[in-house]
Amino acid sequence: MQNLKCKMQNEKLKRLKKKKIGVLMGGTSAEREISLKTGKAILQALKRKGLKAIPIDVGKDITERLLGEKIDLAFIALHGRGGEDGTVQGLLELLRIPYTGSGVLASALALNKIQAKKVFKFHRLPVPRFQVLKKGQGLRVKGRGFSLPLVIKPAREGSTIGLSIIHNKRDIRKAMEKAFRYDGEIILEEYIEGKEVTVGIVGDEALPVIEIRPKDAFYTYEAKYIKGLTDFVIPAPLPKRAYSQVQRIALAAYHALGCRHFARVDIVMNKKNKPYLLEVNTIPGMTATSLLPQAAAKRGIGFDDLVLKILELTL
């Protein structure tokens, strides 16, 4: 059985070595810097595997670049709008270039936290109470159950960009203005105090759960990408039943949105170990401090093999 598995993997590698792979990185979103780091790490991994891979910095000329380079496969290493929201995926569909990660609809749904929450609620998956606010509307919290602290964030950004945790009413207006700088729709959400955990998914397998322990007040943009600002515990120290439940909910969220190939699902556990879905990242970071590679390593999958495995799923 093991020999058969190795033979199949070798056959896939042979097929990939015949193809020209474009690593799409950079882009124009607020996450351009981290996308470049992700893309460079992926590019180096593919080259170490002996594959013909080239970097493609995504800009306004992306259509001409793709046509000119004549790539056979695209490894998407873009984060945020213009790369993780289904737009580049749609372009690749039109050009008939196979690509890594989720398709157009799943990508668009996952990046738009409002629409993703609606899908999760339809599938009876647990999400924090939330309210949608549009630019130009006054602040009016509807219904009961909202009390300080609160989370205010843009509907379509990642890496905690534009996010604020509010402990005082006088800070609400400033937090709204900050979030509205990134999107015309923002989310006001109840703050769930507890452990933040994340579940990486490759193919249809949930990887070991990671607990995120930021040394700052919360998991900021800097804490995500600067070594030493956050501690990661793998596997997360959860009761056995809660651990399994987190993995099941992560996979359910992944399938509810229609994701494929790989993703990372963020969840917060309250003090009673009840899980609440936060979001699904369809193109999670792939840097030295990124969570998906850490979870894969715990599973015994090295970084280069993880990158190759994701690429193989396009076949």
Among candidate residues 191, 266, 276, 290, the one labeled active-site is 266
pLDDT of residue 143: 45
- The answer to whether the beta carbons of residues 151 and 189 sit under 8 Å apart is yes
Q: Does 181 fall in a domain?
A: yes
Q: Does 165 fall in a domain?
A: yes
Among candidate residues 26, 99, 285, 290, the one labeled active-site is 285
Q: Does 311 fall in a domain?
A: no
Q: Is the domain of 180 the same as that of 204?
A: no
Between CA 254 and CA 245 the distance in angstroms is 14
Q: Is the domain of 226 the same as that of 117?
A: yes
Q: Is the domain of 276 the same as that of 174?
A: no
- The answer to whether the beta carbons of residues 28 and 82 sit under 8 Å apart is yes
Q: Does 141 fall in a domain?
A: yes
Q: Does 117 fall in a domain?
A: yes
Tell me, what CATH number does 141's domain have?
A: 3.30.1490.20
Q: Does 310 fall in a domain?
A: no
Say whether 225 is catalytic: yes
Among candidate residues 22, 27, 31, 158, the one labeled active-site is 31
Q: Does 297 fall in a domain?
A: yes
Say whether 281 is catalytic: yes
Residue range(s) defining the domain that contains residue 122: 110-126+194-304
Q: Is the domain of 175 the same as that of 202?
A: no
pTM (two decimals): 0.88
Q: How many domains does the chain have?
A: 3
Q: Is the domain of 72 the same as that of 30?
A: yes
Q: Is the domain of 18 the same as that of 48?
A: yes
Q: Nearest to residue 111, comparing CAs of 199, 175, 185?
A: 185
Task: Examine the fold and report which residue of 150, 170, 190 is the final residue of a domain before the chain moves on.
Answer: 190
Among candidate residues 225, 243, 254, 276, the one labeled active-site is 225
pLDDT of residue 57: 96
Q: Is the domain of 120 the same as that of 213?
A: yes
Tell me, what CATH number does 43's domain have?
A: 3.40.50.20
Task: Examine the fold and report which residue of 190, 220, 242 is the final residue of a domain before the chain moves on.
Answer: 190
Give the chain's largest Cα–Cα span.
65
Q: Is the domain of 94 the same as that of 229?
A: no
pLDDT of residue 192: 93
pLDDT of residue 244: 97
Say whether 279 is catalytic: yes
Tell me, what CATH number does 236's domain have?
A: 3.30.470.20
The percent of residues in the chain predicted with pLDDT above 90, rounded, is 73
Q: Is the domain of 213 the same as that of 283?
A: yes
Among candidate residues 29, 83, 279, 290, the one labeled active-site is 279
Q: Is the domain of 115 the same as that of 223?
A: yes
Say whether 31 is catalytic: yes
Say whether 243 is catalytic: no
Q: Is the domain of 248 the same as that of 116?
A: yes
* Residue pLDDT, tens place only, 70-116: 999 999 999 988 899 999 999 999 999 999 999 999 999 999 999 99
Among candidate residues 29, 35, 164, 281, the one labeled active-site is 281
Q: Does 313 fall in a domain?
A: no
Q: Is the domain of 41 the same as that of 170?
A: no
Say whether 112 is catalytic: no
- What is 112-156 written as a DSSP string? SHHHHHHHHHHTT-----EEEEETTPPP---SS---SSEEEEETT
Among candidate residues 32, 156, 260, 264, the one labeled active-site is 264
pLDDT of residue 182: 86
Say whether 83 is catalytic: no
Per-residue pLDDT of the chain (315 residues; tens, 9 = 90+): 566 566 667 888 889 999 999 999 999 888 899 999 999 999 999 999 999 999 999 999 999 999 999 999 999 999 988 899 999 999 999 999 999 999 999 999 999 999 999 999 999 999 999 999 888 766 555 544 568 899 999 988 765 788 999 998 889 889 988 999 888 899 999 999 999 999 999 999 999 999 999 876 555 554 555 556 789 999 999 999 999 999 999 999 999 999 999 999 999 999 999 999 999 999 999 986 799 999 999 999 999 999 999 999 998
Task: Examine the fold and report which residue of 140, 171, 190 is the final residue of a domain before the chain moves on.
Answer: 190
